[in-house]
Amino acid sequence: MAIDPVCKMTIDENKAAGKSEYQGKTYYFCATGCKTRFDANPQQYVKP
């Protein structure tokens, strides 16, 4: 299970609506809207 970095929802990686790579890590999303928001500004959602 993964946590959507935008809305914090728990998601099954195999059923995710989308995924993105950022700084060598894969992030999974519950909906395309969350993926779009993440892709526009990933630093806002990723903890250093």
Please check whether residue 2 is in contact with residue 10, taking contact to mean a CB–CB distance below 8 angstroms. Answer: yes
pTM of the model: 0.91
Which parts of 1-48 fold into alpha helices (H)? 32-40
* Structural domain count, the chain: 1
**Confidence class for position 47, pLDDT limits 50, 70, 90:** confident
Judged against a pLDDT cut of 90, whether residue 14 lies above it is answered with yes
The parent domain of residue 19 ranges over 2-44
Residues above pLDDT 90, as percent of the chain: 96
With a CB cutoff of 8 Å and minimum separation 6, the contacts of 48 are: none
Tell me what the pLDDT averaged over the chain comes to: 96
With a CB cutoff of 8 Å and minimum separation 6, the contacts of 21 are: 27
